[in-house]
Amino acid sequence: MLFPGQGSQFVGMGQKIMQYPQVRQLYDRASEHLGYDLLDICLNGPKETLDKTEYCQPAVFVTSLATIEVLKETNPKAFDHVIATAGFSLGEITACVFAGILSFDDALKLISVRASAMQEASEEVNSGMITLKLFYASRLPLAIDCAIEYCRFKLNMENPIVRIANYLSPEYQVVAGHDEALEFIIENAEDFNLRSIRRLPVSGAFHTQLMNPAREEVRKVVRRLTLNPPKFPVHTNINGKAPTKITTIERNLSDQIVKPVSWIQTMMILYRRHPGTPYPQTYECGPGKQLGHLLYLTNRPARANYHKIEV
């Protein structure tokens, strides 16, 4: 079971699964906790509101868990032999709920603080994220170094931040940081042989040091929550491994906000097999199909057993 993160949202998500009573109950329960109509934002937007971190993260989280309720109704056998789960960034919290580490209500508390803290951290500086495509002649590390030097010496910025924030696949990566540094990379992309650069619909430089204030807020909340041993492995964004110690899981939930998402490594670990061993069935549970596409780019034979629950 794979759970998407922020950036997978779209206005209208949830419309295709409203006929399931448990789905509406999830949205109602979340709305009561959050103090606003989450389902209305998911279905009707507007996009500018849904894309805001404070609304987007709860929306993606609840919509992702809603697909689990759909799967229980349409294919209950899918839960008979769950061998592992993982989530992209925010999706790691969803995976923790699915695996029984966190309760739904505790996860909402965590996400409410996480989303608000990340939104506040984003508003402190002009920052963002870009995705780009690499090929054999690309020089991304040099582009990042030059962007830092440009900001430091040309723009007199004291501590410019820009780094790889998401290792998506062998071809695609996400870079995050100050807007000035990102603009330098965009404007000089040809010099560094970088292709297909586009801005992501997020409000800040997630998974960089610019999120340090948010990490501290999340850490405080996580320490007050009850975490249970996982029912099955939950592979973390930080290194792709599946820790079992509660203290490690607790630390990862806060640290992953400022550390890169090692999705390539996670996929390698999840789908590592001896020759001749069949690949498991994979379900992407949540809005969008990005994780299925990344699985295709990383491991095409494993992608052959991929399923998507439309929302």
> Which residues are catalytic, by number?
89, 207
Detail the DSSP E strand segments found in 93-156.
Answer: 127-133
DSSP 8-state class, residue 145: H
Start-to-end CA distance of the chain, whole Å, equals 16
Distance, CA of 163 to CA of 210 (rounded, Å): 11
* β-pair type (195-199, 172-178): unpaired
Distance, CA of 169 to CA of 298 (rounded, Å): 6
Question: Taking the CB of residue 269, how many other CB atoms lie within 10 A of it?
Answer: 17
288 φψ region: left (φ > 0), alpha (ψ -120 to 50), beta (else): left
Distance, CA of 70 to CA of 2 (rounded, Å): 15
- Select from 78, 175, 63 the least CA-distant residue to 128: 175
| Rounded (10°) CA dihedral 119, 123, 124, 125 | 120
Looking only at Cα atoms, what is the longest distance across the chain? 60
